[in-house]
Every structure is written in C-alpha cells, then in structure tokens.
Amino acid sequence: MGHAGPAKEQPTQNELQAMAYTDHLTGLGNRYRLRDKVRQIAIERAADPAPFTVGIVNLDGFKPINDLFGQAAGDEILCQVAHRLKACVPDGATVTRHDGDEFAIILPLVFERLGAERAGNLIKDVLSAPYDLGDRNVRLSASLGFAVYPFAGEEFEELMKSAETALYHSKRRGRGQITVYSREIAQEMRRATQLEQALRNAIINDNVDVHFQPIVRLSDNRVLGFEALARWNDPDLGFVSPSVFVPLAEERGFIDTLSETLLYKAAEATLSWPRDLFLSFNLSSCQLMDTRTATNTLAILNRIGFDPQRLEMEITETAVMTSAETARRIIHDLKSAGIRISLDDFGTGQSSLGRLRDFPFDKVKIDRAFVSALTTDRTSEHIIRAIVTMCDGLGLEVVAEGIETATEAQKLREFGCAMGQGYYFGKPADAATTMRYLKEHHHEFALVERTVG
C-alpha cells in the first residue's frame, strides 16, 4: 500500500468566515459584510444616534456589454469599478458588491441629503470615465440611490429597501441620476405601483381603448389613414394620459402586452374601413429591443386576417438608438412582410439626418413643435421647408403633425408637404365615431350608399 499524501490543511474558522463575507470576483465584501457593518455602526451610535448613509450604485446599460463582448469583458469592467469605488470613497467608508453590476457603500460621516448628493456626484464622475478592455474602450454611466439612517429606516432591511426605492427612482428618471430617499419619493413610488396595478387590471378587463386620428392629403383634405392612439379612462382614476401610463408600462415590463392588445383592437376595427385606408401604430423603444416584436406583430395580423401592407409602424429616433442592431433586424423583418415604417417626432432627436441614412424609413413625421411655431417663427418655417425638400430628394413621404389652424394647413401646402394630421382635421375618436366619420366623408362609403339607395 502506498503512503497517503500530506493532509490538506483545512481552512480556519476565521478564513471560512472571510470567504463567506467576500465577493470572489472583486475581492470586496458582499451583502453579509454590508449587513454586519451597518448593524455594527447602528449599535455604536445607539446611545447618541448620529446619522450615517448607505448607497446603492448600479451601472446603466451593463447587460449589453456582457451580451456584446462576453462575460470576461463584463467581469473585467466590474473589477475596474470595484477598484475605482475603493479609491474614491472617503476614509472609513465600506464598499461591497452584490448581484451582477450592483455595488453598495456605507458612508459613516455623511449625515444628510446634500452630503450624500456630493458623494454621489463624485462616484458618478469617477465611474463615467472610459473602461479599458485592451482592444477597445467602453463608456458606462451609473445610477445611485442613497438612504440616511435612522430617517430612512432603523433596521438593515428597511434601510436597504429605502436605498433601493431611491435607486429605482433614479432609474425612472434616466441614466446617471442620483436620488436620496425621502417620504415624498416613497409616496410617489407607491402611487406608481397603485397606477401599475390599475393599468394591469384595465388591460385584463379590456378597459384600455383605441382612438383614431385622421391623417389627410393636404391638397384636398382627403383622409388617407388613421393613427391609433391609446386611451384609458379609469372608473376610479378618471382619464389617465398616455404620456403617464405608456412609460409606466415600459418601465414595469408589460408594454408588449399593452401594445399587442391595442394592435389587435385597432387592426380589427380597421377591417371594416375602406381598403385604401392605412392604419398607423406606435412601437415603443422596449419593443425595438425585443427580437420577438416582428413575429408577434405578424401573428396578430395573421390571426385577424389584416393585410400587413395597410399597416405603418411609427418609431421615434430615441427608440431606434436604444439598441440599434436589434432595431435594424426588427425593422427589416417588418418591412419584408410589407409593413411600412415611419420616423416619428422628426427633428427632435440627436442626429436625425444620420438616422435617415442608416434605417430604411418610408415616411417622416415632422414634430408638432415646428408646426405650432410655423406662423410666428421664421426658423421653424425654414426647417420645415428643408425637411420637405430633403425627404422629396430621398423619396420619403412627409406628414406634418399637430396642425390646428387653416393658416398652418395652407402654409404647409405651399411648402409642398403632402400630408397632415392634427385637431384642424379631427381629434382622436373611438372606433364607432370614426366609422360614422368615414360614412360621411369617405368616397367609397358614399358610393356604396348611393348604389344601395
């Protein structure tokens, strides 16, 4: 029998504890370390409860880094973030890492909101510098949420929940934001959650409606199609603006359910219109990041027998740029099926001209901000003329949005703008009212009724 090799040394109790309290990727402490440290400071200050601050730091747009460049690149960035955080926090502060791209900090000498915001701004700036991945540099921003003890919670779990609420509020406001927890913010988040529940129920109970606004040919005011617009009139909340509930559905992750429900209703109503009228429908930025969007859209049209060539999808420039490669694939798949693509709110984005070159749009909608200033501002007039001329050269159709007066309509005609939409031609109306409108105004219905009569 051979001799057994030397016995492996078992880790000591202290070493085991250190391992259990350490994040193995970055070497920082983990959530257990954070919990113990917070409780320790709270006990030390029990006799004289001086405040201290905890914060959560979350990287914006980290997931696409992992998807695009692989996990090794993602891990490298997380290690660089850990290094930067340790270097920039004040003496006595503790930095820990939790799940994924979320880090936490304890700031024992930050006692109130302004101090937390100052610390947050420093961290935000340090983390926004480019990350070196050897063959490329990557830029990221960070969102932060802070909670001050004991005002935002005396127990660890309550304090962290407040910091998470503050972080969530930051994320709602966009990238690179800083929020310090307050009762007002908590109240606002509670209201958003109540609104979310009411909206989910409204979708289930089929209480979110579709209204239609006419899009006309400016040369003779003939209706060419309608834009479908979401409307929600809640029995308890009253009228809720789409500018409130659509972003909420995006943020809470059920915009696809809302959008698909509305597309089904809109396309079904459109089936009884004259065949030469098109339906225009808005896609959200979340849907342009979801590879299933084209398949789901075509499945709905197929289910009700709606001709894809009668459908136009409106997308904003911001939505296209959120995830450009995925958006490009979705647009390609929609166009392959015969669906047309409109660029909505043209002129309000960062680099609209580049988008016209990069994506195969069929139509451009001039933002209402230019139209409403048309009669008072020469600059808006020049911009609209330039857009119309450019689109003419590119073979793109043009619609002017937000037309409210005869003067605006006349000027747009003179500039050569072919189509218009706005209260001057008709406010958004429900399916039944739209049907009556068509029977009175559309030549195809008039012909049918004359023949029958």
Report the alpha-carbon distance of residue 285 to residue 314 in Å, rounded. Answer: 11
Residues 160, 279, single domain; the answer is no
Q: Supply the pLDDT for residue 349.
A: 59
Quick one: 122 and 238 in the same domain? no
CB 325 within 8 A of CB 351: no
**274, 438 in Cβ contact below 8 A?**
yes
* Farthest CA pair distance, the chain: 110
Domain boundary among 111, 146, 181: 181
Closest by Cα among 343, 354, 357 to 288 = 343
Establish if 102 belongs to a structural domain.
yes
Same domain, yes or no: 169 and 212? no
Q: Could you tell me which residues come within 8 angstroms of residue 78 by beta carbon, excluding any fewer than 6 positions away?
A: 25, 26, 97, 101
Q: Is residue 196 part of a domain?
A: yes
Both 314 and 344 in one domain: the answer is: yes
Same domain flag for 289 and 225: yes
DSSP 3-state of 241: coil
In a domain, residue 1? The reply is: no
Q: Phi-psi region for residue 116, left (φ > 0), alpha (ψ -120 to 50) or beta?
A: alpha
Question: Are the CB atoms for 23 and 30 separated by under 8 Å?
Answer: yes
**Domain presence at residue 9:** no
Contact call for residues 26 and 120 (beta carbons, < 8 A) = no
Is 206 part of any domain? yes
Residues 202 and 177 in one domain: no
List per-residue pLDDT tens for the chain, 453 residues long: 455 555 556 667 666 667 788 998 998 999 999 999 999 999 988 777 789 999 999 998 787 777 778 888 899 999 999 999 999 998 899 999 988 899 999 999 999 999 999 999 999 999 999 998 887 888 889 999 999 999 898 899 999 999 999 998 898 887 899 999 998 988 988 888 899 999 999 999 999 999 999 999 999 999 999 999 999 999 888 999 999 999 889 888 899 999 999 999 999 999 999 999 999 999 988 888 888 999 999 999 999 999 999 999 999 877 777 677 888 899 999 999 999 999 998 876 555 576 777 788 999 999 888 898 888 888 889 989 999 999 999 999 999 999 999 999 999 999 999 999 999 999 999 999 999 988 887 765 544 333 333
Domain coverage including residue 394: 192-452
Q: Is residue 308 part of a domain?
A: yes
* Residue 6 belongs to a domain: no
If one counts the domains in the chain, the total is: 2
Q: Is 340 left (phi over 0), alpha (psi -120 to 50) or beta?
A: beta
For residue 234, the 8-state DSSP code is: E
Q: Answer yes or no: do 174 and 220 share one domain.
A: no
Please check whether residue 103 is in contact with residue 120, taking contact to mean a CB–CB distance below 8 angstroms. no
Task: Please give the backbone phi and psi of residue 27, each rounded to the nearest 5 degrees, phi first.
Answer: 80, -5
Rounded distance, CA 34 to CA 53, Å? 12
Residue ending a domain, choose from 152, 181, 210: 181
Q: Are 168 and 198 part of one and the same domain? A: no
CB 345 within 8 A of CB 316: yes
- Is residue 118 domain-shared with residue 216, that is, in the same domain? no
- Give me the pLDDT at residue 59, please: 93
Which residue intervals of 89-155 are DSSP H helices?
Answer: 113-128
Cis-peptide into 150, omega within 30 deg: yes
Q: Decide if 106 contacts 41 (C-beta within 8 A).
A: yes
In this structure, the answer to whether residues 339 and 446 fall within a common structural domain is yes
**Residue 277 sits in a domain of what CATH number?**
3.20.20.450
Nearest to 295 by CA among 342, 246, 260: 260
Same domain? For 143 and 234 the reply is: no
Same domain, 83 and 158: yes
pLDDT for the residue 15 = 66
Q: What 3-state DSSP class applies to 266? A: helix
Cβ atoms within 10 A of the Cβ of 23, count?
Answer: 18
User: Quick one: which of 255, 306, 307, 309 has its CA closest to 284?
Assistant: 255
Q: Give the CATH number of the domain where residue 53 resides.
A: 3.30.70.270
Is position 40 within any domain? yes
Helix 183-204 vs helix 156-172: angle between axes, to the nearest 10 degrees?
A: 70
Last residue of a domain, one of 151, 181, 211: 181
How confident is the model at residue 352, as a pLDDT? 59
